[in-house]
């Protein structure tokens, strides 16, 4: 089969299209023929080596954290899926690789594809959908009538998180550029801040939850828009000690993480706030919850562009510009 490979960590060196062996299928896995694969900034960060301390991969490596396709083989202990099923998934860390014609995924990380979505639309969902669910539902326990600030509303996570928060019944504030105001408004955002013109810290106050996805400056300002007892959950760092312990990081990585997050954790304690870092994980069960919302019409995919498989490098470069409105997808079959 063909796959795009990373031979060494590099920001500039493109992935290499190569002929590789079919994935080894474990007893609890399904082999998915990839029809479409979502492209995420996480792929770029892994490719550049940014996460090599906490996600030490063996190179060469096929990237790709979103897949939609058809089951072609099942392991001997698989009970949830059969050959021919249309599915989607976020493969678990260390089993990624959807920038390829086939990928093997643990059946517990897979869910039936929403019936009302194309393969390309379905491939846009898993990573951003699970990220939004795990931040807003699992960690923040967001409730009706609460106020949530979702940064970068026109991005992949933002477009999904806005819709999920509105489905829950929260009031949603977000930042975006003037060209994307209509997009985030159509998704349900209540308070829209043009980050090129206005400072969100001067507009927002007494918020219950912040989904942080931007830089350190935005992180410090975001703490100041929360009410006492509010919580900031970051998907862009810095990682905290709870995260480092949870992944079983070695002592020196735990020490580095503790130092990197010391300032924001201290400030959060001073302001009577909760700070946490989330690195989303694969979950077929949560994907099934998202499938119900999608099939009920509560959430719709926000798509920017679909690239052919041969242009996977170009698709990743486009995501790296930060200008995508919603998700970018590669059509593999």
Fold of 2-125+301-331: Quinone Oxidoreductase; Chain A, domain 1 (3.90.180)
Cα distances from 226 to residues 35, 113, 222, 242, in angstroms, run 42, 37, 7, 22
Q: Is the pLDDT of residue 54 over 90?
A: no
pLDDT surpasses 90 at 85: yes
**CA–centroid distance for 33 within its chain:** 22
Place of tokens 């954290």: 65
CA distance 148 to 168: 11
State the pLDDT confidence band at 24, using cuts at 50, 70 and 90.
very high
Average pLDDT, the chain: 97
| Structure tokens that stand for 225 in this block | 């828009």
What's the mean pLDDT in 5-30? 97
Specify whether the CB–CB gap between 119 and 303 falls below 8 A: no
Distances (CA, A) of 87 to 9, 91, 200, 236: 31, 12, 39, 28
Torsion sign (Cα): 23, 29, 34, 38: negative
**Contacting residues for 115 by C-beta, under 8 A, at least 6 apart:** 295
Cα distances (angstroms) measured from residue 63 to each of 99, 110, 307? 6, 18, 16
Residue whose tokens read 């096929």: 62
Q: CA-to-CA distance for 13 and 2, rounded, in angstroms?
A: 19
CATH 3.40.50.720 occupies which residues in the chain? Answer: 128-277
**CATH 3.90.180.10-classified regions of the chain:** 2-125+301-331
| The residue count for the chain | 333
**Percentage above 90 pLDDT, the chain:** 98
Structure confidence at residue 288 as a pLDDT band (50, 70, 90): very high
pLDDT greater than 90 at residue 86: yes
Per residue in 194-250, pLDDT tens? 999 999 999 999 999 999 999 999 999 999 999 999 999 999 999 999 999 999 999
* Under 8 Å between Cβ of 152 and 126: no
What angle, rounded to 10 degrees, do the helices at 126-133 and 284-295 form?
100
Rounded CA-CA distance 133/131 in Å is 6
CB under 8 Å to 259, separation ≥6 — which residues? none
The two three-digit tokens of residue 259, written as one number: 């130092």
pLDDT, one tens digit per residue, over 246-268 is 999 999 999 999 999 999 999 99
Q: Which CATH architecture has domain 128-277?
A: 3-Layer(aba) Sandwich (3.40)
| pTM for the full predicted model | 0.97
């Amino acid at each position: 089969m063909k796959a795009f490979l990373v031979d060494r960590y590099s920001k500039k060196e493109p992935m290499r299209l190569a002929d590789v062996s079919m994935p080894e299928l474990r007893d609890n896995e399904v082999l998915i023929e990839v029809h479409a694969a979502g492209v995420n900034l996480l792929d770029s960060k892994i490719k550049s080596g940014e996460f090599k301390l906490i996600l030490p991969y063996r190179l060469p490596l096929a990237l790709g954290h979103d897949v939609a396709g058809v089951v072609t083989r099942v392991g001997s202990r698989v009970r949830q899926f059969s050959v021919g099923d249309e599915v989607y998934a976020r493969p678990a860390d260390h089993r990624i690789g959807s920038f390829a014609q086939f990928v093997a995924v643990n059946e517990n990380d897979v869910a039936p594809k929403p019936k009302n979505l194309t393969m390309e639309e379905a491939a846009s969902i898993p990573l951003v959908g699970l990220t939004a669910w795990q931040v807003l539902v699992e960690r923040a326990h967001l409730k009706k009538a609460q106020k949530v600030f979702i940064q970068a509303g026109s991005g992949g996570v933002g477009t999904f998180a806005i819709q999920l928060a509105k489905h829950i019944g929260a009031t949603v504030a977000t930042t975006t550029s003037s060209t994307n105001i209509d997009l985030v408004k159509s998704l349900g955002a209540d308070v829209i801040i043009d980050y090129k013109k206005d400072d969100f810290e001067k507009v927002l106050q007494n918020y219950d939850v912040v989904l942080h996805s931007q830089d350190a400056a935005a992180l410090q300002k975001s703490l100041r828009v929360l009410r006492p007892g509010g919580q900031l959950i970051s998907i862009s760092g810095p990682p905290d000690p709870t995260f480092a312990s949870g992944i079983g990081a070695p002592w020196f990585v735990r020490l580095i993480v503790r130092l990197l997050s010391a300032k924001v954790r201290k400030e959060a304690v001073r302001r009577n706030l909760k700070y946490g870092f989330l690195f989303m994980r694969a979950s077929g069960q949560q994907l099934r919850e998202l499938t119900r919302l999608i099939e009920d019409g509560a959430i719709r995919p926000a798509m920017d562009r679909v690239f052919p498989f041969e242009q996977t490098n170009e698709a990743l470069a486009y995501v790296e510009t930060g200008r995508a409105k919603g998700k970018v997808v590669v059509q593999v079959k």
